[in-house]
A and B are shown apart, each in its own frame.
Chain A
């Protein structure tokens, strides 16, 4: 009985801390983040290649749904998301995709966008969420719940601190993976 009481007490102590950091809390924190710029280093591990591929560049985010990924090395490429339009610019070629008509691409984009703007319902539409860690060092894991998305990506792992995302890892269905490390740039 004593042990049980001690257990309850422990539980009682632990509960506030846990309640302070669940998915809802993380989402609230993330939603407060209104935007900014960051440097990224993206490393792709592709089975076919003997060495990983490394790309670097800049990310710009403006809440709630504007995101720009400018790759500077090894080749310039700009990926821009504005509401539901995704445009890719590369080697003088410009391509625009209306995400509303491409559910798979939308789900893919929503994994990142939903995390950035703390939109839990958008994330839960296509993924099962799992959170571990604490507000200073958290890891959010997204597992696709839809077969069509699962055929593209097995798992998305996002880690961060407070309202900042530090890394995103995509594990593709074929076992190849990419890891993007993000370093916020000081706001000017």
Chain B
């Protein structure tokens, strides 16, 4: 090894060690932040907050099936008792009378600070007369039956005022004293975890605890056929991580094994195999290091892309070993390296275009592949020859090369059939253009259809809305956010009265701002003022003022009572609601007011809300719309990036090849490869999405590596070159093709597009090899 060689090797070794250290301390994640926009709009920011921090993301829905109704109810009670005491859970609800009574007690105790009807006018003689007369009217109705025992302490009906704001449909059905599905066949619970939605480890531990406690409970109760069903964002995150983890190890193993087998077959030398994998390992390491340094966090899916990188990066050492067999290093560097370098650059253009994506997952893939490919090429060029020695003892692939040369000549006859097929495919895709693309972000989700359906069923049983329409207000602190929620609430009250919306929820219902609480407290008269007003108000009433001593005492107590704080709500039903709707965010707090729009035309309802809130700083959102917009933005951007990447490749090739004919000879097979790959995907029933589009760009970026050899200035590829291209193409197709086995839609899409696309690019390049060079 020369001195320069030794220096290069040492440098490489140092870089690898440093890289290993970076990877060792990297954070890997498989959560959905992969999909969340890097540069969110205000609406998307809300979406991100909801998904990451929101209590909705910490909510698990649990259903108990099997046994009979009483057994299910008993299991539900037992499970609630077991879970409520565990530190993993903030709240466990199953509609048990005990917890419901506790919630009602809370609302009753704090009614004078919570009731929106508490104003100074409420406690004048007229106000008292009206309010008490209304309460007495209610006694005559069935709705008043429950309120009757409370009348002496709450004659103005403040509890009724508090309760009537709440959505009557929000409570699930009840059987045997606990929540149940409408058909009564499943007992239902709602569990809020302490771990945040983005904390997948915490979610996994919480879910495991629920399963363990349920198993113990069912065993203790002797209900053999009891089953637990669980769903929620946390479960999706856990399952998705398991899928990605499984895919990463499985696909990497399959891809590596297949490629190693090919290389062993070609080289028949463990030493060359080891040397050949060196650039690949360097590239994979460099890719992770680059991503880790740039983002701090590496997505599991990014690592999952590794098998494709292996297939692509191993090409360079194959070229080196096979092509330098006859002429040695110097000749290889002179004759082949420029073409390989150009191929590396076109690949870099393709992957590099992804760097500019606002979709973090895509940008990571781009950086990972870009740095991986570049590193592998550099290591092949500068380190590998030093290690391998001047003369590489690669097996003579002349026989393979000769066979390929013969095949290439025969392939050329397919020129016209290929043109006809291309026209057919174009016509076919043009006719199918409305059915090519999947329109929603959910196509990228790893959540299986069955899981999504089970989730929707549980959600419907529990009557929990999917919180699609929201009004979001913000403030520098919790108090400011609550005051903003109260101001927006006044606007929404008017809309509700006018019938424009069916209703809404607000964290300020259970946790009014301190200002609001102070105002309500100030509305309450002292006992010595209240008594005479009460006497006057009840002069003609069937209710004697003398029976209302409890009321006067409660009002007096409420005048002294401290503010309701968030701590007072901990663990209760109202507390769950406040947690879900009042969130910290960067630089302040957000209050979320879920809307129930009137039946019929939700878009019109939302537009009315937007108009009424215009200028107030409140944001009215359709979360599903935001998600769809997000995906649409990603797709739109990906089209631009793909076109930009393509343009960069074309410019690069044009500048290097300096011949329109040779440029056309490289580009035509690539364009046809994309065309055939897309037509094939659609024929096989794949709905195209964002990642298929990226795959198309990669067909051009990766496929050009092969087409370039056919468009070389110095004649057709010789048998050795052909053999190296054949093997390199095979490894690339294996690498990408393996991704096609993935259950992660993103990886799958790239795999099924680029794997066949790479082979098509080689075949078509051979078919359309320029006449004067191929003759």
Contact = CB atoms under 8 A, between A and B. Distances in A.
A145 interface: no
Interface stretch (B12-20, B135-143, B675-683, B749-757): B135-143
Given A49-B543, A50-B543, A44 B184 contact: no
B173 interface: yes
A98 to B, nearest CB: 6
A15 interface: no
A48 B184 contact: no
A186 to B, nearest CB: 27
B342 to A, nearest CB: 71
A98 B183 CA distance: 11
Contacts of A44: 139-140
Contact of A95 (B143, B145, B149, B184): B143
B542 A102 contact: no
Interface string B122-154: 000000000000001101111101001101100
B717 interface: no
Contacts of A188: none
B152 A95 contact: no
A49 B538 CA distance: 12
Contacts of B145: 152
Contact of B137 (A52, A75, A98): A75
Nearest to B180: A101
Contacts of B140: 42, 44, 53, 55, 71, 74
Contacts of A74: 137, 140
A71 B152 CA distance: 25
Contacts of A75: 137, 141
B771 interface: no
Contact of B142 (A88, A93, A174): A88
Given A48-B151, A49-B136, A102 B174 contact: yes
A77 interface: yes
Contacts of A42: 140
A52 B543 CA distance: 10
A90 to B, nearest CB: 7
A48 B182 contact: no
Interface in B165-210: 168-169, 173-175, 180, 182, 184
A48 B148 contact: yes
A9 to B, nearest CB: 52
A46 interface: yes
A129 interface: no
Interface string A17-47: 0000000000000000000000000101010
B661 to A, nearest CB: 76
Interface string A90-108: 1001011010111100000
Contact of B542 (A50, A77, A93, A176): A50
B145 to A, nearest CB: 8
A105 to B, nearest CB: 9
Contact of A46 (B148, B174, B180): B148
A171 B180 CA distance: 31
Q: Which of A53, A101, A102, A174 has the most CB of B within 10 A?
A: A101
Nearest to A42: B140
Interface SS, B side? mixed
A93 B164 contact: yes
A71 B139 CA distance: 13
Given A48-B152, A53-B136, A102-B174, A90 B182 contact: no
Nearest to A49: B542
A79 B142 contact: yes
Given A95-B168, A100-B184, A50 B143 contact: no
A2 interface: no
B544 interface: yes
B547 interface: yes
Contacts of A51: 542
A95 B151 CA distance: 22
B425 to A, nearest CB: 56
A98 B182 contact: yes
Given A95-B168, A100-B184, A101-B175, A90 B542 contact: no
Interface in A83-128: 88, 90, 93, 95-96, 98, 100-103
| Chain B, interface residues (CB within 8 Å), range | 20 to 34
Nearest to A43: B140
Contacts of A88: 141-143
A152 B180 CA distance: 23
A50 B136 CA distance: 12
A113 B148 CA distance: 25
A101 B542 contact: no
Contacts of B180: 101
Contacts of A174: 148-149
Nearest to B173: A101
Interface string B94-109: 0000000000000000
A5 B493 CA distance: 81
Nearest to A92: B497
B139 A46 contact: yes
B634 to A, nearest CB: 42
Given A48-B152, A53-B136, A74-B137, A98 B173 contact: yes
A132 B184 CA distance: 39
Nearest to A148: B177
Q: Which of A42, A52, A77 has the most CB of B within 10 A?
A: A77
Interface in B480-510: none
Interface in A151-178: 152, 174, 176
A82 B151 CA distance: 31
Contacts of A101: 173-175, 180, 182, 184
Contacts of A50: 542-544
Nearest to B169: A96
A48 B180 CA distance: 37
Contacts of B151: 48
A161 to B, nearest CB: 27
B141 A71 contact: yes
Nearest to A77: B141
Contacts of B152: 48
Contact of B143 (A53, A90, A98, A102): A90
A90 B142 CA distance: 11
A96 B184 CA distance: 18
A142 to B, nearest CB: 17
27 contacts: A44-B139, A48-B151, A49-B136, A49-B542, A49-B543, A51-B542, A52-B542, A53-B140, A71-B140, A71-B141, A77-B141, A79-B142, A88-B141, A88-B143, A90-B141, A90-B143, A93-B164, A96-B168, A96-B169, A98-B182, A100-B173, A100-B182, A100-B184, A102-B174, A103-B175, A174-B149, A176-B148
Interface of B: 136-137, 139-143, 145, 148-149, 151-152, 164, 168-169, 173-175, 180, 182, 184, 542-544, 547
Given A44-B140, A48-B151, A51-B542, 10 more contacts: A42-B140, A44-B139, A49-B542, A52-B542, A53-B140, A71-B140, A88-B141, A95-B143, A101-B182, A152-B145
**Nearest 7 interchain pairs by C-beta:** A101-B173, A51-B542, A49-B542, A53-B140, A75-B137, A50-B542, A55-B140
